Chain A
Amino acid sequence: MISTRVAKNLWGENMYFGHRTLADLLGHETLTGLMFMAAIGRRPTDDEREVFDTVAVIMTSADGRIWPLKLGRLVSSYGGTLAGWCASLLTMEGPRLGPWTTGYSAQELVELRAQVGERIDDEEAVVCEARAFFERKRRVVGLGVPLRERDERYVALEAWVLRTGRDKLPHWRLHVALAAHGKRVANLGTNILLGLAAVLLDLGDYTPAQISALVTFVNQNVFAANALEAAQQRSPEMQRLPDDCVLYVGPPARTSPRAAAERRRFEPLEPIYTDDGLAGA
């Protein structure tokens, strides 16, 4: 038997994570709250709901040229919105790019936090452990900003954190120390993913896997918007690029052994045609 905490349909009511949707949630819970419940299994506090609304807005980087979003637009170009949306999401699960990666950044900070242990209030110890952590790993998920000096989403998150006084919390301080060392020794900028992981680890007792799900769930608007628009456009150029936009670099034209054998077998018997007609006629 498989157990589920998600939901059950009742007569005249539907349960969702222990709450009656129509009697308890209707009028009291938001879309963000429902997504939060999907990832964490309980209702968010007011603070959590506000943070995730903020996260959703900050993470709204929906340029249709960004690789996974472009992928979704290509698939949706035949008119299917959900086909492109699903295809985009398929590429997300893993430690590569996109919102799912936040959980992998969180894992980095969980490991660093474990190393710092009881010395979390000792700033010198935090800096020292962050340095050692970076030197040991060299590649930290969430350090590195493509195409630009600073991740504008991180800049906004940092300002919001300072404004709301969350900068004194342990994981934020850990990530600051880690990011400072990464910047100093490898000129790595801080990606939104690492900052976000720090904020979320300080916010609640979430696992890295839950953080991956949470951030991806509240980031759905970027995938949905591109898929929907591409499905409506049904762009012929998306369905097929012009021929001169493709460069072939594979093996040169060649003849298979069987075709070559056939040619050797039949060529002498076959009439040879030229532009002037049958040769030798």
Chain B
Amino acid sequence: MTTSKVWNGPLDDAEWPDKLTARVVTQGPCPRLHGYDVEGDLARHYSFAETVLLALTGTLPSPEEARAFDVALQFAAPAPAQEAPTHAAIIARICVASTSQIQGAAAIALGEQARVLVAEHRAWIEMLSGPLAEVPAAFRAKSDAERESVGRLRRALRGTVDVPALWHDIGRAPALIAALHACGLKTAEAIECALVLAKLPIVMAEALATPAGSHRQYPVQLPTIAYTEEPS
């Protein structure tokens, strides 16, 4: 019979809680989200978008906020193949990755994309909490195409929440962030989450539409990556 030696260390001798703390979801056969019965209440009376808003803000949205959130998610959803998250997911599919591996790669890339976008708009998010006087150049529309998109967003949001920022000459990303902010997503973190949530199904759809293992159909020279031995 072998006996194993008992090794003790700092993690053994320190005091730790004996339970994992949950702050949003309850366990059990009737799970609750922020206190609301998911199966008996939310599923019967609220849309998925409303449940997502509840999850991210802790508060049930008004019908106007929920409709605006739906619109904002749809505007945020397109994730074209040339952008890194979708491009990465397509390559994962070409590498015959499993769905979970493709989703993992896509979610990381989307999270990174959202992190950078929101970081670039941190000052804008702060401005949205107060009266908007003048829009800094960085957040203004750069093209007529952007202005037209913002116009479409403004029209789609008609009858929902008031987004005063949309009446300024702002770019598409600031407009989208302003719409999400008006839905109740006041923090950078919550806005990042919404952006990833909106795009992930689209990224996965594009990846899953790609034939698995189609290495020779992939344009390996795009973009051009040139080897150099020059010091960087």
Whether A and B are associated in the same complex: the answer reads yes
Measured between C-beta atoms, what is the minimum distance from A25 to chain B in Å?
15
Q: Which of B32-40, B74-82, B175-183, B185-193 contacts A (4 or more CB under 8 A)?
A: B32-40
Q: B11 near A247 (CB under 8 angstroms)?
A: no
Measured between C-beta atoms, what is the minimum distance from B199 to chain A in Å?
18
> What residues of A have a CB within 8 angstroms of the CB of B228 in the complex?
3-5
The number of chain B residues touching the other chain, given as a range, is: 35 or more
Q: Which of A46-54, A248-256, A267-275 contacts B (4 or more CB under 8 A)?
A: A248-256
How many of chain A's residues have a CB under 8 angstroms from any CB in B? 40
Q: In the complex, which residues 141-156 of chain B have their Cβ closer than 8 Å to any Cβ of chain A?
A: none
Given known contacts A1-B224, A254-B35, is B45 in contact with A245 (CB within 8 Å)?
Answer: no
- A80's nearest neighbour on chain B, judged by CB, is B100
Whole-angstrom CA separation of A253 from B31 in the bound complex: 10
> What residues of B have a CB within 8 angstroms of the CB of A241 in the complex?
20
Measured between C-beta atoms, what is the minimum distance from B11 to chain A in Å?
5
> What residues of A have a CB within 8 angstroms of the CB of B9 in the complex?
63
Q: B42 near A256 (CB under 8 angstroms)?
A: yes
- A42's nearest neighbour on chain B, judged by CB, is B231
> Could you give, for residues 182-209 of chain A, a 1 whenever the CB lies within 8 Å of some chain B CB and a 0 otherwise?
0000000000000000000000000000
> Could you give, for residues 11-37 of chain A, a 1 whenever the CB lies within 8 Å of some chain B CB and a 0 otherwise?
000010010000000000000000000
Indicate if A2 sits at the interface (CB-CB under 8 A). Answer: yes
> What residues of B have a CB within 8 angstroms of the CB of A249 in the complex?
21-23
Measured between C-beta atoms, what is the minimum distance from B172 to chain A in Å?
26
Given known contacts A147-B11, A147-B14, A247-B22, is B223 in contact with A1 (CB within 8 Å)?
Answer: yes
Indicate if B216 sits at the interface (CB-CB under 8 A). Answer: no
A258's contact among B27, B46, B101, B232, by CB below 8 Å, is which? Answer: B46
Whole-angstrom CA separation of A8 from B229 in the bound complex: 10
Indicate if A41 sits at the interface (CB-CB under 8 A). Answer: yes
A4's contact among B11, B17, B101, B227, by CB below 8 Å, is which? Answer: B227
B100's contact among A7, A83, A90, A146, by CB below 8 Å, is which? Answer: A83
> What residues of B have a CB within 8 angstroms of the CB of A4 in the complex?
225-228
> What residues of A have a CB within 8 angstroms of the CB of B26 in the complex?
248, 250
Whole-angstrom CA separation of A65 from B32 in the bound complex: 29
Indicate if A136 sits at the interface (CB-CB under 8 A). Answer: no
> What residues of B have a CB within 8 angstroms of the CB of A5 in the complex?
227-232
Q: A-B contact count, CB below 8 Å?
A: 107
A2's contact among B19, B58, B224, by CB below 8 Å, is which? Answer: B224
Indicate if B60 sits at the interface (CB-CB under 8 A). Answer: yes
Whole-angstrom CA separation of A272 from B231 in the bound complex: 82
> What residues of A have a CB within 8 angstroms of the CB of B224 in the complex?
1-2
Q: B226 near A1 (CB under 8 angstroms)?
A: yes
Q: B46 near A256 (CB under 8 angstroms)?
A: yes
A255's contact among B21, B41, B58, B231, by CB below 8 Å, is which? Answer: B41
Q: A243 near B27 (CB under 8 angstroms)?
A: yes
Q: B11 near A7 (CB under 8 angstroms)?
A: no
Q: In the complex, which residues 67-95 of chain B have their Cβ closer than 8 Å to any Cβ of chain A?
A: none
Q: In the complex, which residues 55-91 of chain A have their Cβ closer than 8 Å to any Cβ of chain B?
A: 63, 65-66, 80, 83, 86, 90
Indicate if A246 sits at the interface (CB-CB under 8 A). Answer: yes
Whole-angstrom CA separation of A90 from B111 in the bound complex: 11
Measured between C-beta atoms, what is the minimum distance from A137 to chain B in Å?
24
Indicate if B44 sits at the interface (CB-CB under 8 A). Answer: yes
- A10's nearest neighbour on chain B, judged by CB, is B227
Indicate if A278 sits at the interface (CB-CB under 8 A). Answer: no
Whole-angstrom CA separation of A5 from B225 in the bound complex: 10
Indicate if A259 sits at the interface (CB-CB under 8 A). Answer: yes
A246's contact among B20, B35, B231, by CB below 8 Å, is which? Answer: B20
Q: B225 near A250 (CB under 8 angstroms)?
A: no
- A146's nearest neighbour on chain B, judged by CB, is B10
> What residues of A have a CB within 8 angstroms of the CB of B27 in the complex?
243, 246, 248
Measured between C-beta atoms, what is the minimum distance from B47 to chain A in Å?
11
> Could you give, for residues 131-165 of chain A, a 1 whenever the CB lies within 8 Å of some chain B CB and a 0 otherwise?
00000000000000011100000000000000000
> What residues of B have a CB within 8 angstroms of the CB of A7 in the complex?
227
> What residues of B have a CB within 8 angstroms of the CB of A256 in the complex?
36, 41-42, 45-46, 60
B21's contact among A6, A41, A146, A247, by CB below 8 Å, is which? Answer: A247
Indicate if A262 sits at the interface (CB-CB under 8 A). Answer: yes
Interface residues of B (CB under 8 A from A): 9-11, 14, 17-28, 32, 34-37, 40-42, 44-46, 58, 60, 100-101, 104, 108, 223-232
A-B contact pairs, 9 of them (CB 8 A): A4-B225, A5-B230, A18-B229, A41-B232, A83-B100, A245-B18, A246-B27, A251-B35, A259-B37
- Known A-B contacts: A15-B227, A254-B35, A259-B37. Give 11 more (CB < 8 A): A1-B224, A2-B223, A41-B232, A66-B11, A83-B101, A241-B20, A246-B21, A246-B27, A249-B21, A251-B34, A255-B37
